[in-house]
Amino acid sequence: MLDRMWLSTLPILYGAAASGAWDEPYRSTRSWSGGLEIFAEGSLWSDPEEALRRLAACLERWEGPRSVHAPFWELNLASPFPDRARWSVEVLRQVVRIAAAGGAEFVVVHTHDTAAPLFDRAAARERVLSALRILAEEAAGRGVRLAVENIGVGEFSLFDRDEFVALFTEVPGAVALLDVGHAHLNGWPLAETIAALGPRLYALHVHDNHGRADEHLPVGEGTIDWQPVWQALRQLPRPPVLVLEYAPGTPVSRQVYDALRIGAWLSGPDRGGGGATADRDEAEGLAISARDGAHSPVVPAGDGVEGPAGGAGGGAVGAAASARGAAWGPCGRQGT
């Protein structure tokens, strides 16, 4: 599992977006040499051609495994306005092409929320399914996977848990990306959902919350019960990619620390006899150590990518940074 633990560039996105530098993810491989998900969002999309060029350059510079989180803020595959829906598909097709050319393993796209409960939910869902089939075909033809993420809260969700699982039968060319934080907000049974998705589950976005807002906290700082999640993942025949998608401002070193800890545990040997208790104790220990900030720096200080926090990455620093970034998304809806 260690080679399937990836980091998201979301923690540095907002500061970078202000300077138009989101395509400078982690400028030093001292910070991380594993997989990276490039969060391609921000003000650069006011000039789409330049944004695509910068995305291509970013992918070319990263030497490790990579994926792309496609932009979504102004896109809407569910839009009842035909011009906007077609434009959204075309933008995402361009992102898929750039991602494939840049060696990305998969591209993350949103199913998109309904704009309001008064919209025809069934018709909106059909529009999204049609768009995803087009995008999945584009991706398959270029050798990259289209990973569809679960988003939306309550009545703003186009796909409930069972509908999300069924989506990958209706769009067989796509793979599933389960966002654990989003699923928790909607009360989805996490272990059962992982098992139901089975081989269609290609990746997860890993972050925590308290069940009320999309906080993108480090693992263990919210109310998610992680032990069943780790256990369910260990039962899968093929390990999915786990992308730590923490809130803007979270130190890179906190991401690296959690990635190493979680990856090491998931890679550990299967245990017999009383192993269930040992598994539970060790898995709970992951959450406890994260919640209490009981970790030392992993990334050398002063690598120039973490802002004022440098490489300190202690629990208090990480918690404060997470709190600063917790309210970055619109109230009642999810940002990633």
Amino acid 289: pLDDT: 44
Euclidean distance between CA atoms 105 and 119, whole angstroms: 35
User: According to the model, what pLDDT value does residue 70 have?
Assistant: 95
pLDDT, residue 15, reads 57
CA dist 241 and 207 (Å) reads: 14
Buried b (16+ CB within 10 A) or exposed e, 134-157: bbbebbeebebbbbbbbbbbeebb
Mean pLDDT, the chain, rounded, equals 79
Q: What is the pLDDT of residues 107-152, one digit of tens each?
A: 999 988 776 778 899 999 999 999 999 999 999 999 999 999 999 9
What's the first-to-final CA gap in the chain, in angstroms? 24
The length of the chain in residues reads 336
**Which pLDDT does position 259 carry in this prediction?**
93
Here the tokens at position 73 are 């803020």
Domains and their CATH numbers in the chain: 2-325 (3.20.20.150)
- Residue of higher predicted confidence among 218 and 319: 218
In DSSP terms, which residues pair with 201 in a beta bridge?
Answer: 176
Tokens of 7: 């980091």
- pLDDT of 255 higher than 50: yes
Distances (CA, A) of 185 to 14, 181, 192, 254: 23, 6, 16, 23
Q: What are phi and psi of 212, to 5 degrees?
A: -120, -25
Cα 273 from Cα 230, distance rounded (Å): 19
β-strands 201-206, 35-39 pairing: unpaired
| Least confidently predicted of 30-34, 135-139, 170-174, 210-214 | 30-34
Model pLDDT for residues 274-309, shown as the tens digit of each residue: 333 344 445 445 444 444 443 332 222 233 333 322
